[in-house]
Structure formats: structure tokens, C-alpha cells
């Protein structure tokens, strides 16, 4: 029997209790816990990726998790104090380091087995992340991913803010998903204000989202061959990505899309968009013809970093990682997007080559949709009031499904929670390392294009 896909598991604090919300694809479970002695039964034996959710619940609210196979801290690192930052009673503006507490990494024991630590500081422009390998020669036996080195307290900081005040922080959660996060926020704004979503405005927003997707897929189809030793692909694809980013700035005023989603459509030159898309389409097709005819490159991409459909479903992965393994999930797969040319793309094998080829397919589909989203300008009135309640939204970013939850009380944010697609996909990364060598790790990792910041709120 196929189990429901786990989307998120997080806690709310009430005056006399905690409430655990567990969201599946198709149902929501809510569970009240005694505030004086909060104990939560783990579901990680059935839903593997519940592990990080539950470890975070423990760190955030000091809730005991029972029957869990992993009770280590998640966001509390070696000198992080034993404080539950998400509790309402915690009001300090700063925290002090505590005594060093060693973190016990997972490892494989045996003759000839040794460990390799990579990070958290890397020799490049990259956020901190730690990767602990158990090795037998070059062969990877096990990988443990450990992140959350730049915990920003976003969930806590947004408490007490209005929806409008929260926007600038929400749109900066993850730089390569800025427009996607803005759209998740905007959807909640529309729900809470009980306003309809003007179709012309929605088309403009979706056009911006597809431009953001184009930028990051173009970047990835350069970096993936680069990590297999073919740097020329990175040079060409980076040019395409930069040209698209510059064009995004012309459309919305910022190359990363900050401030792009608002209540009006900025005036734009329709003919110029079509001209840009025609040129981009032509150059991507040239790139594809060039890259598919390099056998030595495909020797590295084919059968490397395989994630089977069965494991992809078990771990509930999303985005390109899921669709390249034949798991056909995409939050755009609905009437609105289909009306404007969306076609769900997929591959079956689940290796690096599949993730590369899927991005090429999605680039072409995004170009097609942008053409169809072009429309006249419009403006809607900015909401002047919001109804208290709980609101959720979903958006398909370039990485995958974003889930956002906001609870409003007296017009202010009582609880903010966002689950980035990377929070799920990072947990499945180690599965792709089986039978591969450590030199393939950067290639496999980059083929998933996961966000560090998106997970580390």
C-alpha cells in the first residue's frame, strides 16, 4: 500500500499546550501536547524524512521525541545553549555560547574504513555545510549531511510583524527562490484579505517565476558538466544565465527578483521579451546539440548518483530530484498553468544525466510558458485589512515545492513556518552516493542544486 507523502511537521505554541501539525499530501493531522511535560511520538520509522522535522521541533520548543532513532540536536550545534528559541517566553536579543558538547556523527566501522570530513567551510563562494563520509578507499560507504550553521531565527523574528512588514525578510530566505517565496507570501495575502487574484496579475507573477526558474536551470546545466571536468559548458551556460538575470532586472527592477511581486504589473516591452526568448531558445538548442555529442562527459553523468523511484517516493523528495526519478509531482500541474502551456516533464533513471536532461526539458517549457504569460499591464488595490486565521500556500520553485504556513492573530503574525524543498531533499542526498566514489560527490550534489539558506531559517 502506497503511503501518503509527508510534506511538513511542525509545532505551534498555545497558552496551555503545544500543537503538532503534520501535513501530508491530502490530509492534515493535529495533536495536542501537555505543555508541562510535552512528549511527541516519532513517526520517523514510517516516514524517514520526519527525522529532521522532529529534531527541529525538539530544538525549537524543547519537546521530547520518543521512539525516534535519532535524537541528536539539529540546529543546536556544539556550543549552542540549551534554550528553546521558539518558545514565547524566550525574548532575549542575543544568546551566549555554552560549553562545548561533541556531536556524534554516523559512521561505518570495519577494516580499512576511514572517515573524510568536508566542510563546513568550503574553498569557494558557498554557504557552510558539513559532509561526513565513511570511505573504503575511493568508494563511499555512507554520507551524513549536517547543516544549520547560519541559523537566522527568521521564524522568531517574524512573530509580531504584519504581513506587509514580513515581505522583505520572506523574499530573502533563499536567494535562488526569491520570487517563489514572494508568490507563496502573496497567495497568503490574497487569502487573508479575501481578495481575488486578478488573472493578468497572476500571469505576470508566473512569468517572473519562470524567469527565475530559467536562470537557475541555465546555471545548473553549466555547473553539472563543470563538476565532471568540462569547464567550457559552465562558461557558455553562465553567459546565458547572466543574460537572463539582466533581463529579469529590466522586468522587475532587481536581478535577484527582490521586490518583484507586488500589486501592479510593471510596464514592459512585449516585443523585447519575445526577441529575448527567441534568442535564448536558439542558444540553448545549440548548447544541447554541442553537449550531447561529448561521450566522455556522458560517461561521468550516466549511472552516477542514482536515486530510484522507490527511494524517491519513500523519502518524499520533490522538484527536479523527484521528477528525474520518475516521480511526477509538480505544484504547477493544474488547470491554470496547463492553460498557458505547462507540460509536466520527467525522466526515469534518476541519475545525474537524468537531472541534467530534465533541466533542459524544463528550460524549453518555461520559455514556452513565458511567451503565453505575456499580457497587458494591470493594477489591483493593496489590501487594507487581513482576517485572522491559519493560511497555507504552495509554490513550485526552481528546486521544488515550497510550503508556507502563517497564523495571524489580531492582524499580526503569531506563527510563521516555511519548508523549503531542500529540507526534504538534503535528507535523501546520501542515497545517491551508494556505489559511487568521493570524487563524484560534487557532481551529484550539484545535480540536485539544493539550497543551504532555504533550510536554515
CATH number at residue 171: 1.10.645.10
Q: Is the domain of 82 the same as that of 227?
A: no
Whether 368 maps to a domain, the answer reads yes
Domain interval for residue 356: 162-448
58-98 residue pLDDT tens: 999 999 999 998 999 999 999 998 899 999 999 888 888 99
- Count CB atoms within 10 A of the CB of residue 70: 13
Q: Is the domain of 59 the same as that of 177?
A: no
Q: Is the domain of 186 the same as that of 80?
A: no
Whether 144 maps to a domain, the answer reads no
Q: Which three cell numbers stand for residue 174?
A: 533563499
Domain end marker among 104, 122, 150: 104
203-213 residue pLDDT tens: 999 999 999 99
CB 401 within 8 A of CB 156: no
Percent with pLDDT over 90 in the chain: 85
- What count of residues does the chain have? 457
Q: Is the domain of 432 the same as that of 315?
A: yes
Whether 168 maps to a domain, the answer reads yes
Q: Is the domain of 79 the same as that of 187?
A: no
The total number of structural domains that make up the chain: 2
Whether 113 maps to a domain, the answer reads no
Q: Which three cell numbers stand for residue 376?
A: 497587458
Domain end marker among 104, 122, 139: 104
Q: Please, which residues bridge with residue 118 across strands?
A: 131
Whether 233 maps to a domain, the answer reads yes
Whether 225 maps to a domain, the answer reads yes
Q: Can you tell me the mean pLDDT for 419-438?
A: 95
Residue 384 in this model has a pLDDT that exceeds 90: no
Residue 1 is predicted with a pLDDT of: 52
Distance of CA 146 to the CA centre of its chain: 16
Domain end marker among 104, 137, 152: 104
Q: Is the domain of 207 the same as that of 274?
A: yes
pTM above 0.85, yes or no: yes
CA distance 441 to 352: 11
Whether 362 maps to a domain, the answer reads yes
CA distance 239 to 221: 12
Residue 378 in this model has a pLDDT that exceeds 80: no
Whether 122 maps to a domain, the answer reads no
Q: Is the domain of 405 the same as that of 264?
A: yes
Q: Quick one: pLDDT band at residue 266, thresholds 50, 70, 90? A: confident
Amino acid at each position: 500500500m502506497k503511503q501518503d507523502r509527508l510534506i511538513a511537521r511542525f509545532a505551534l505554541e498555545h497558552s496551555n499546550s503545544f500543537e503538532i501539525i503534520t501535513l501530508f499530501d491530502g490530509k492534515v493531522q493535529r495533536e495536542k501536547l501537555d505543555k508541562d511535560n510535552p512528549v511527541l511520538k516519532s513517526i520517523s520509522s514510517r516516514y524517514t524524512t520526519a527525522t529532521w522535522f522532529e529534531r527541529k521541533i525538539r530544538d525549537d520548543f524543547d519537546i521530547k521525541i520518543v521512539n525516534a532513532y535519532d535524537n541528536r540536536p539539529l540546529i543546536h550545534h556544539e556550543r549552542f545553549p540549551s534554550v528553546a528559541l521558539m518558545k514565547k517566553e524566550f525574548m532575549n536579543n542575543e544568546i551566549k555560547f555554552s560549553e562545548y558538547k561533541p556531536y556524534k556523527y554516523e559512521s561505518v566501522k570495519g577494516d580499512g574504513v576511514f572517515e573524510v570530513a568536508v566542510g563546513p567551510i568550503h574553498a569557494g563562494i558557498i554557504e557552510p555545510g558539513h559532509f561526513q563520509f565513511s570511505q573504503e578507499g575511493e568508494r563511499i560507504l555512507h554520507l551524513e549531511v549536517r547543516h544549520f550553521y547560519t541559523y537566522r531565527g527568521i521564524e522568531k523574528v517574524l512573530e509580531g510583524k504584519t504581513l506587509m512588514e514580513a515581505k522583505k525578510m520572506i523574499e530573502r530566505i533563499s536567494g535562488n527562490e526569491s520570487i517563489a517565496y514572494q508568490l507563496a507570501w502573496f497567495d497568503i495575502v490574497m487569502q487573508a484579505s479575501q481578495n481575488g487574484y486578478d488573472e493578468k496579475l497572476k500571469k505576470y507573477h508566473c512569468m517572473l517565476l519562470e524567469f527565475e526558474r530559467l536562470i537557475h536551470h541555465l546555471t545548473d546545466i553549466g555547473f553539472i558538466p563543470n563538476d565532471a571536468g568540462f569547464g567550457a559548458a559552465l562558461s557558455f551556460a553562465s553567459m546565458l544565465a547572466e543574460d537572463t538575470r539582466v533581463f529579469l532586472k529590466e522586468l522587475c527592477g532587481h536581478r535577484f527578483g527582490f521586490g518583484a511581486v507586488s500589486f501592479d504589473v510593471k510596464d514592459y516591452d512585449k516585443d523585447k521579451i519575445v526577441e529575448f526568448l527567441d534568442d535564448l531558445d536558439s542558444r540553448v538548442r545549440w548548447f544541447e546539440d554541442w553537449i550531447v555529442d561529448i561521450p566522455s562527459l556522458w560517461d561521468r553523468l550516466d549511472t552516477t548518483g542514482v536515486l530510484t523511484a522507490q527511494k524517491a517516493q519513500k523519502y518524499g523528495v520533490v522538484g527536479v530530484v523527484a521528477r528525474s526519478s520518475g516521480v511526477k509531482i509538480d505544484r504547477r500541474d493544474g488547470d491554470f498553468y496547463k492553460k498557458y502551456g505547462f507540460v509536466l516533464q520527467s525522466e526515469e533513471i534518476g541519475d545525474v544525466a537524468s537531472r541534467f536532461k530534465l533541466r533542459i526539458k524544463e528550460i524549453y517549457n518555461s520559455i514556452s510558458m513565458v511567451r503565453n504569460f505575456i499580457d497587458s499591464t494591470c493594477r489591483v488595490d493593496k489590501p487594507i485589512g487581513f482576517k485572522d486565521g491559519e493560511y497555507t500556500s504552495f509554490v513550485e520553485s526552481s528546486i521544488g515545492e515550497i510550503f508556507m504556513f502563517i497564523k495571524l492573530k489580531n492582524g499580526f503574525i503569531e506563527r510563521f513556518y516555511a519548508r523549503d524543498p531542500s529540507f526534504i531533499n538534503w535528507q535523501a542526498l546520501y542515497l545517491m552516493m551508494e556505489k559511487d566514489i568521493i570524487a563524484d560527490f560534487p557532481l551529484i550534489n550539484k545535480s540536485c542544486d539544493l539550497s543551504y539558506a532555504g533550510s536554515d531559517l
